Structure 1
Amino acid sequence: MSDLGVLIRLCPPPQPRQAPIDWEHVEAELGMRLPEDYKVLASAYGPGSYGGDHISIYHPEGVTLYVNLTGPMPERIREHLQRDYDQGTFPVERNPQQLFAIGGTEGGQKLFWITEPENEPDAWRITVSQEKGPLWFTYDGNLTAFLVAVLSGQLDVPQFRNLHGLPADFTPGVQPPFEVGDPPMSEPVNTEDIRDWARANGLRIPPRGRIPRKVRKAWEQAHPA
């Protein structure tokens, strides 16, 4: 049985999704290919969290920008890691440019893909950081297999030891009663101008939809107010 099949037996997903995820658009917005196991997992479960609402997995349809795969959090987390890596503030086990945040826990731990080899996403492993501490734990497998191992009790993640076992369940994400927006640019800018600039400078950008955060940031740095 596949890892997804085992996970579905452990914690059945909610009702089947009505509309498929446009993975081509998601990958274009991120500027990278994604592991197939993640795409199947995200398509089957939708946005939400596992293990008694403890492990939140980022999703392209996340109900807020804080749990959205294409939102600002992965890049913000990488920026914090890079600062810690450069300054030695907190231990970082590898170059932050090889880490992409895929989720987090209510205890402050972060889950990452180790994006090596860069062009072989199905070979990416999972690593877990400790909130403001020296402990890192690396799992030699993909995200779906990691969730199966944790929720079935087969894997002892040191950062999760104070939880005494997580329940094998899934909690769908719920839209908050308020709207959370992305910080606006300092002044209104024609998005087509940004797209033209990005293409001229060799940056990947989707032909429509939201401007990827890293492209917007590069634009702002090149066009200071």
Structure 2
Amino acid sequence: MTAFDDLTRLVPPPPNPLGAKGDWDEVEAALGVQLPADFKQLVRAYGAHHFAEFLTPLTPFAGRDLLVGPAKRLLEQERGFRDRYPEDSPYPFYPEPGGLLPWAGTDNGDRVCWLTAGKPDAWTVVCWNPRGWSYDPHPVGAVEFLVGWLSGRISTSVFPDATESAESAESVEFAEEG
């Protein structure tokens, strides 16, 4: 049983996922790094699926590129803060060696990143709040993180648990209906 099997049991893939198909070789060439196999499998099956009405993988194949372009701008966007407050920036940023590379985003503006040190299939997931400069590393891959977060086995100090996110979304829907 794989983490991907666990994910499909928790959240069945949509029949026609948005932004699921494209050329991974082109994406990896543009980034200059090979991406983890589980992330490519996640995007092929789910595309830009909105997990727990809160967390969305950054597919490079949706109507606009959510992965490559933002990743290429990350270091320039964050360099000023890091230069002023190096103690609050414990990780390098892509494209620096071993830098954080976002693979998902949340409705709150948080980023779920890989720490790109070592082989791609062994990259660590780091949850990051760029507004509050808090980081929370998890020594698992993208799909394993997603399964753990959705099932309540993984929690992060950066954003709410999946059950809290879903309850919050239901409260908003109820308030809009009422």
Matches within 5 A, 1:94-109: 94-96=91-93, 97=96, 98-109=99-110
Structure with larger RCO (C-alpha < 8 A, sep 6+): 1
The superposition leaves residues 74-125 of structure 1 with CA deviations (integer Å, 9 ceiling, x where unpaired) of 22233222222112188222122211121211112111110002xx111111
Gaps of 5+ in 2: 167-178
Matched to 2:40, the amino acid is: K
Distance 1:21 1:163 in 2: 29
Percentage of identical aligned residues = 29
The superposition leaves residues 32-78 of structure 1 with CA deviations (integer Å, 9 ceiling, x where unpaired) of 111011111111112232111x112111212334xx222x2122233
Contact 1:49 1:56 in 2 (8 A): yes
Distance 1:159 1:151 in 2: 15
Distance 2:90 2:163 in 1: 26
Contact 2:55 2:104 in 1 (8 A): yes
Alignment partner of 1:93 out of 81, 90, 93: 90
Secondary structure in 1 aligned to 2:75?
helix
Distance 1:95 1:105 in 2: 21
Matched to 1:121, the amino acid is: P
Contact 1:85 1:95 in 2 (8 A): no
Contact 1:55 1:103 in 2 (8 A): yes
Contact 1:84 1:90 in 2 (8 A): no
Change (3 A) 1:20 1:128: closer
Gaps of 5+ in 1: 168-225
Secondary structure in 2 aligned to 1:48?
coil
Distance 2:104 2:67 in 1: 9
Distance 2:122 2:116 in 1: 8
Matched to 2:39, the amino acid is: Y
Which residue in 1 is equivalent to 2:50?
Answer: 49
Which residue in 1 is equivalent to 2:131?
Answer: 132
Which residue in 2 is equivalent to 1:3?
Answer: 3
Matched to 2:70, the amino acid is: M
Secondary structure in 1 aligned to 2:67?
coil
Contact 1:6 1:148 in 2 (8 A): yes
More displaced stretch, 98-107 vs 56-65: 56-65
Distance 1:28 1:77 in 2: 17
Change (3 A) 1:15 1:161: closer
Distance 2:155 2:45 in 1: 26
Matched to 2:67, the amino acid is: L
Matches within 5 A, 1:194-213: none
Contact 1:3 1:148 in 2 (8 A): yes
Contact 2:52 2:163 in 1 (8 A): no
Contact 2:125 2:138 in 1 (8 A): yes
Distance 1:3 1:44 in 2: 13
Alignment partner of 2:67 out of 69, 78, 82: 69
Distance 2:117 2:63 in 1: 29
Which structure has greater helix proportion?
2
| 1:132 CA displacement | 1.8
Contact 2:21 2:61 in 1 (8 A): no
When Rg is computed on C-alpha atoms for both structures, the one with the higher figure is 1
Number of matched residues? Answer: 162
